[in-house]
A and B are shown apart, each in its own frame.
Chain A
Amino acid sequence: MHGARDFWKRFSRNKGAVVGLAILVLVLATAIFGPLLFPTSPWEMTGAPFQRPFDPEFPLGTDTLGRDVLSGIVHGARVSLLIGFVATLVAVIVGVILGALAGYYGGIIDDLLMRFTEFFQTIPSFVFAVVLVAIFTPSIASIVAAIAIVSWPAVARLVRGEFLTLRTREFVQASVVLGQPARHIIFVEILPNAVSPIIVAGSLMVATAILTESSLSFLGLGDPNLMSWGFMIGAARTVIRTAWWMSFFPGLAILLTVLALNLVGEGLNDALNPRLSREGR
Chain B
Amino acid sequence: MQEKCWKDKMLFRYLILLILLPIKSFALIEVDITRGNLSPLPLAVSPLSIDEKSREGFKKILKKENIGSEISMVVENNLKQSGLFNPLNKDSFLQKPDIANLKPRFEDWNLIKAQALITGKVTLIDNKLRVEFRLWDILAGKEMMALAFTTVPSNWRRVGHIITDKVYERLTGEKGYFDTRIIYVAEEGPKTKRIKKLAIMDQDGFNNKFLTLGNELVLTPRFSPTNQMVTYLSYFRNLPRVYLLDIETGMQEVVGDFAGMTFAPRFSPDGKKIIMSFAKDGNSDIYTMDLENRVVERITNHPSIDTSPSYSPDGKYICFNSDRSGYQQIYTMNNNGKNVKRISFGKGLYGTPVWSPRGDLIAFTRLHKGKFYIGVMRTDGTGERLLTENFYQEAPSWSPNGRVLIFYRETKSNSEGEGFSAKLWSIDLTGYNERLVETKTDASDPSWSSLLSN
Partners in one complex: no
B contact residues vs A (CB 8 Å cutoff): none
A contact residues vs B (CB 8 Å cutoff): none
